[in-house]
Amino acid sequence: MSFLEKINSPADLKRLSPSELPMLAAEIRKFIVEVVSKNGGHLAPSLGTVELSIALHYVFNSPEDKIIWDVGHQAYTHKLLTGRRDRFDTLRRHGGISGFTRMSESPYDAFTVGHSSTSISAGVGIACARCLKKEKSKVIAVIGDGSMTAGLAYEGLNQAGDRGKDLIVILNDNDMSISPNVGALSSFLSRTFSAKKMQSLRKEIGDFLKSLPKIGDDIYQLAKRSEESFMTFVTPGMLFEAFNFEYFGPINGHRLSHLINILNNIKELREPVLLHVTTKKGKGYLPAERNPVHFHGVGCFNIETGECPDSSTVPTYTKVFGEAMVRLAEENKKLVAITAAMPEGTGLTNFAETYPDRFFDVGIAEQHGVTFAAGMAAEGFRPVVAIYSTFLQRAYDQILHDVCIERLPVVFALDRGGIVGEDGPTHQGLFDLSYLRSLPNMVIMAPKDENELCKMLVTALGHDGPIAFRYPRGIGTGVDIEENIVPVPVGKGEILRHGDDILILAVGSSVNDALDAHSQLTEQGISATVVNSRFVKPLDSELICSLARKIPRMITVEENVRDGGFGSAVLECLCDQGVTNFQLERIGIPDTFVEHGPQKFLRSKYGIDAPAIADAARKLLGSEK
Ligand SMILES: Cc1ncc(C[n+]2csc(CCOP(=O)(O)OP(=O)(O)O)c2C)c(N)n1
Ligand SMILES: CC(=O)[C@@H](O)[C@H](O)COP(=O)(O)O
Ligand SMILES: [Mg+2]
């Protein structure tokens, strides 16, 4: 029996001797690689935290002690040690265990995560609650260096430090976000200051030391002797100590004995503590160590070679968007691109290489990214903020307050709109049409295919106000991309098929499903009009109302929650225009969170695909057909 097979809970782990733990770590790594090679998942982050997870569960008493994993994409070992080994092969599969931590999945998952940088705030909340309940157990937040680039993390530190909370924050520093980490903080943590910064720090610290009565000058002379000794005065700890945290580290996060010793020591402290741990992303699996960006979140791959099976030759929406950005930036010198720590995910790596001065990776800071874009727009630039639909939720007030009120021309390119699949409810992009629609001055589009995506980008760049377009995760329809991209007229839809029995109004990627449904219906003798609405705001009310008067049986289709979405907009429009004699079926996601699973499967399960549209049409027509 392997060590791993003996472990059904942290209590079993504690039965192993310290000398057995490295062997357990090796088994865990092998198992994680095996499962992720079949199911896909966040391999490199999870391989980096094997020893840290073992040490945490060896020293602390979860679930009484609360271990909160930030993002949760590095928690695979935690799952294996907390009773989920037998189900681990269902990772990210529909009905199987989640790729992140979920309170509803296990009592050992102290908090539900997926979006980054929440762990410290949640930890402070839990610690305060424990205090009120007079409970003594420990609260530990494990946060990565990338996640530390978000303002939210500092809001948590600020409160914890001020209140002197009994909270342990473990900074898992691998010098990487998904891509290499960015920002001044990242160079502070790794102590890779620029020469200029070093000079100014030298001066500031020198002056400070010299000002100390009696001993100051001696310490200064000592510190001056070498760069290295100088650097000992400039530690990442300074930052956290300013927040009243007791700082320890940096320590090697792959040395189990060391980790266990230090965790045993800090466990006894009753104040805010920050332990800085350095780890390697992808540790122990060479392809992932060599290419941590690719193996951050990966699909199936061959374990021997690290290679993924041949992917489709049809480009993804993301790729088409990225290429269009590079092309358009050549003629439009005002075009700048902004990403929040997702240059690869949003297809902007080529842009970054071609136009480094016009590319801005703000780190995991969606709120800042949007206000930063507003600042650039106020100065006459055309910022394109490329953020996943789900992550833009963070920046709602910035869109409203900093962009929409003054009608600043910021373009929002919302990738991963709709069902994203295996990442599950934290990541589905199912709310954007609803959450953007209520904002005055906002224009919202969704392309039917990747060629229309390019047209919408051109439309957006020519529009004098806030404008968003959202497009799905994954490959496009395979249409050719026109050489000369012309804009679409704002607020105008297009009729794609003519028919008298039923009116199907679709938006975005659902247009294709509507066309497939049209073909199925035609075979059954049902004739349908299919409209590509293109715009959710402003709606083409003229077209919609005139068609509704002629064909009063209607279906709206969207890959968005029904509440407040495209179908709701159509209903409001009909009502406002006095069109009353109609039957309308709104196809979209019901009022629920959509779990993880394959995109195609979930579209079918939630009844938003072509067969569901055809079914709805037949039902509306009832016995007539
Ligand atoms: C609000 C938000 N924005 C973006 C992301 C996408 N994202 C997931 S993990 C990650 C990098 C996190 O880096 P770090 O915390 O250092 O963890 P590591 O992957 O290095 O272990 C990013 C940008 C997210 N999950 N949440
Ligand atoms: C954990 C996280 O938030 C990201 O890694 C996300 O899973 C990326 O999603 P894509 O795979 O769609 O780029
Ligand atoms: Mg990191």
CATH code of the domain in which 66 resides: 3.40.50.970
Residues lying with their CB under 5 A of ligand 3, a single-atom ion: 144-146, 174, 176
Q: Which member of 51, 344, 366, 559 is catalytic?
A: 366
Whether residue 58 sits in one domain with residue 168: yes
Range of the domain at 371: 317-470
463 three-class SS: coil
Reply yes or no on whether 394 is catalytic. Answer: yes
Which one of 470, 485, 510 terminates a domain?
A: 470
Whether residue 12 sits in one domain with residue 105: yes
Ligand 2, atom nearest to 427 Cα: 3
In a domain, 479, yes or no: no
Give ipTM to 2 decimals.
0.99
- What is the CATH classification number for the domain harbouring 561? 3.40.50.920
CA of 147 to the centre of ligand 1 (A): 6
HSE at residue 496, side-chain half, CA atoms within 13 A, is: 20
Residue 366 annotated as binding site = yes
In a domain, 343, yes or no: yes
454 three-class SS: helix
In a domain, 308, yes or no: no
The ranges of the chain with pLDDT < 70 are 190-206, 208-210, 212-234, 623-625
Which one of 234, 266, 298 terminates a domain?
A: 234
Whether residue 447 sits in one domain with residue 525: no
264 three-class SS: helix
CA of 420 to the centre of ligand 2 (A): 9
Ligand 2, atom nearest to 421 Cα: 12
In a domain, 477, yes or no: no
In a domain, 306, yes or no: no
Sheet holding 335-339, edge to edge: 359-361, 335-339, 382-388, 411-415, 467-470, 443-445, 535-537
CB atoms within 10 A of CB 198: 16
Whether residue 431 sits in one domain with residue 409: yes
Whether residue 67 sits in one domain with residue 107: yes
Whether residue 327 sits in one domain with residue 276: no
CA of 335 to the centre of ligand 2 (A): 26
Reply yes or no on whether 34 is catalytic. Answer: no
How many domains would you assign to the chain?
Answer: 4
CA of 315 to the centre of ligand 1 (A): 25
Whether residue 204 sits in one domain with residue 69: no
pLDDT at 165: 84
Whether residue 106 sits in one domain with residue 240: yes
pLDDT at 312: 84
Verify whether ligand 2 is closer than 6 Å to residue 423 (CB atom). Answer: yes
Nearest to 404 by CA among 434, 443, 430: 443
390 three-class SS: helix
pLDDT at 310: 78
Whether residue 112 sits in one domain with residue 32: yes
Reply yes or no on whether 283 is catalytic. Answer: no
In a domain, 307, yes or no: no
Residue 285 annotated as binding site = yes
Whether residue 245 sits in one domain with residue 220: no
pLDDT at 262: 97
Whether residue 164 sits in one domain with residue 56: yes
Q: Which member of 394, 455, 470, 553 is catalytic?
A: 394
In a domain, 304, yes or no: no
Whether residue 206 sits in one domain with residue 173: no
Distance separating alpha carbons of residues 312 and 476, to the nearest angstrom: 10
Residue 89 annotated as binding site = no
Distance separating alpha carbons of residues 339 and 397, to the nearest angstrom: 18
560 DSSP 8-state letter:
E
CB atoms within 10 A of CB 134: 6
532 DSSP 8-state letter:
E
In a domain, 483, yes or no: no
pLDDT at 229: 52
Ligand 1, atom nearest to 345 Cα: 6
Report the phi/psi class of residue 34: left, alpha or beta, with left for phi > 0 and alpha for psi in -120 to 50.
Answer: alpha
